[in-house]
Amino acid sequence: MSAPTLDVGERVKRIVGETAFTFLALAREYEARGRRVISFGIGQPDFVTPAHIREAAKRALDEGFTGYTETAGIPELREAIAEYLNSRYGSDVRPDEVVVTTGAKTAIFIGLAAYLRPGDEVIIPEPSYYAYAQVAKLFDAKPVFVPMRFEPGKGFSLDLEAIEDAVTPRTRVIVLNNPHNPTGAVFSPEEVDALYELARRKGIMIAADEIYDNFLFDGARFKSVISYPDWRDHVIYVNGFSKTFSMTGWRLGYLVVRREVIPKMLDLAVTVYSCATSFAQKAGVTALRGDWGPVREMIKAFEERARILYDILSKAPGIEAYMPQGAFYMFPRVKKLMDAMGVDDDAFVHRLLDEKGVLVLPGTAFPDKAGKGFIRISFATATELVREGAQLIVEFAREKMG
Ligand SMILES: Cc1ncc(COP(=O)(O)O)c(C=O)c1O
């Protein structure tokens, strides 16, 4: 009998996991050893899901709504999603163009998997949420990273010329995550128009991940790609409930694509997850159609935290802070600090955790080269902790810079 193989397949070998989850485990380990950790690591709102949404899920459970549902999602949720997008963005999405997924992550997976062919290229402005590149690699497509522009004091923007230069006949998809993880950038309507126009000219799809579309600060101007009249020709649209309604653990998201590709998407979806959790879907209807007051309160708190973080960090030597425009992240450059300490990105993050009990993520997790010398700070944590953690980072910086 031959020995069992411990080797995994080639495609799986290519992918990397999510650093935020690795560091979440590390923080828990520290805490188990009795150390206090202020976590600016994983991106999840510290607020519990609003009560009326939790009640809707309980009601669904009590009514016995516990079985499988349609793979595409229950009709009232697909309707509520289409209605929400159309009323917010003036679009014309129909319920049968919506696929409910187990989180935005699954929507990214299904959406890209359906379009990518071996040898296709996927342009990803970088730094970037790590998942897009992994899905591309899994399906024998090639991630093409295009660095974003960083302006000290201002933050990040798309390098539209570099993106256009990166287009080849093999380019199938450009990823547009707006508002942006990890930088907290909100791309201007002019930038979005220019990128969309490029996609039109070259016949390319835009994989638009707009999961942070409700997290907009200080009058940031946001344009959704679903608002273009010809979105069906160019858009794979991803959004979800995790961030807006603080429902990360519920696993509920959605995908919007033109009707003709829905049957193949559903073949893929049913193979991966059958359907999204039944009672979570009922809660999703209440989330969209119910009281948005708690969401507005949460976003107000996030904006206040962004300001606090910025005000404190802008006093730190070696840290190039800026005011985030959206999402709940700041991605400051700390290269001078790393150089002064003579450490690389990973060692920097570990030293900050060891010495000050503050967890941030290394910029190299996003996911290739452009994040080198930066850190991601998620301020989705209690305001008092944001203040205290930011002050500890300043203390750390002052100690190292002398
Ligand atoms: C840009 C982006 N897209 C998708 C996701 C995944 O969302 P979900 O928890 O709904 O799968 C995240 C989570 O951090 C994200 O930052």
Query: What pLDDT is attached to residue 253?
Result: 98
Place of tokens 């941030």: 360
Measured from the CB, is residue 181 less than 6 Å from ligand 1?
A: yes
- Angle in degrees, 0-180, between the axes of helices 383-401 and 345-356, rounded to the nearest 10: 110
pLDDT of residue 2: 65
- Judged by phi (left if over 0) then psi (alpha if -120 to 50, else beta), residue 219 lies in left
Q: How many residues does the chain have?
A: 402
Q: Are 75 and 287 in contact (CB under 8 A)?
A: no
Q: Where are the domains of the chain?
A: 10-48+293-401, 65-289
Q: What's the CA-to-centroid distance between 104 and ligand 1, angstroms?
A: 5
pLDDT tens digit sequence for 276-319: 999 999 999 999 999 999 999 999 999 999 999 999 999 999 99
Strands 253-256 and 235-240: antiparallel
Structure-block tokens of residue 153:
């004091």
DSSP code of residue 50 = P
Question: Please, what's the largest Cα pairwise distance for the chain?
Answer: 67
Element (H, E) at 283: helix 278-289
Which of 22, 108, 181 has the most ligand 1 atoms within 8 A of CB, as the residue to mutate?
Answer: 181
pLDDT at 383: 94
Q: How confident is the model at residue 19 (pLDDT cuts 50, 70, 90)?
A: confident
d(CA 209, CA 172): 16
Task: Identify the pLDDT of residue 23.
Answer: 84
Of 211, 213, 331, the one to substitute when testing ligand 1's pocket (max ligand atoms within 8 A of C-beta) is: 211
Lowest mean pLDDT among 13-22, 160-169, 179-188, 267-276: 13-22
Q: Which of 207, 128, 223 is nearest to 173 (CA)?
A: 207
Atom number, ligand 1, closest to the C-alpha of residue 108? 4
Q: Which range is least confidently modeled, 33-47, 197-211, 291-305? A: 33-47
- So what's the pLDDT on residue 183? 98
Give the predicted TM-score (pTM) of the model: 0.95
User: Which residue's C-alpha comes closest to atom 7 of ligand 1?
Assistant: 104
DSSP 67: S
Average pLDDT over residues 364-386: 93
Question: 158: Cβ below 6 Å to ligand 1?
Answer: no
Least confident of 27-41, 168-182, 373-387: 27-41
Please say if the pLDDT value at position 359 is more than 70: yes
Q: In whole angstroms, how far apart are CA 95 and each of 42, 63, 85, 186?
A: 32, 25, 11, 28
Fold of the CATH domain 10-48+293-401: Aspartate Aminotransferase, domain 1 (3.90.1150)
Position 1 pLDDT exceeds 70: no
**Which CATH number describes the domain made up of 65-289?**
3.40.640.10
Q: Provide the pLDDT for residue 220.
A: 95
Residue 6 has pLDDT above 90, yes or no: no
Q: What's the CA gap between 282 and 100, in Å, rounded?
A: 12
Ligand 1 atom, smallest distance to 252 CA: 10
Query: Where does residue 278 rank: exposed (0-12), middle (13-18), buried (19+ CB within 10 A)?
Result: middle
Q: Is the CB–ligand 1 distance for residue 171 below 6 Å?
A: no
Mean per-residue pLDDT over the chain, rounded: 95
Q: For ligand 1, is residue 128 a contact (CB within 6 Å)?
A: no
d(CA 74, CA 223): 28
46 pLDDT tier (thresholds 50, 70, 90) = confident
Residue 13: pLDDT band (50, 70, 90) is confident
Distance 105 CA to ligand 1 centre (A): 6
Q: 182 preceded by cis ω (within 30°)?
A: yes
Q: What does each C-alpha distance from 352 to 8, 18, 248 come to in angstroms? A: 35, 20, 27
d(CA 202, CA 192): 15
User: Residue 326: CB within 6 Å of ligand 1?
Assistant: no
Q: Which two tokens stand for residue 51?
A: 């009560």
Instruction: Tell me if 239 CB under 6 Å of ligand 1.
Output: no
Q: How confident is the model at residue 3 (pLDDT cuts 50, 70, 90)?
A: low
pLDDT in tens, 131-181: 999 999 999 999 999 999 999 999 999 999 999 999 999 999 999 999 999
- Ligand 1 centre and the CA of 187: distance in Å? 18
Res 89 pLDDT > 90: yes
Ligand 1 within 6 A of CB of 328: no
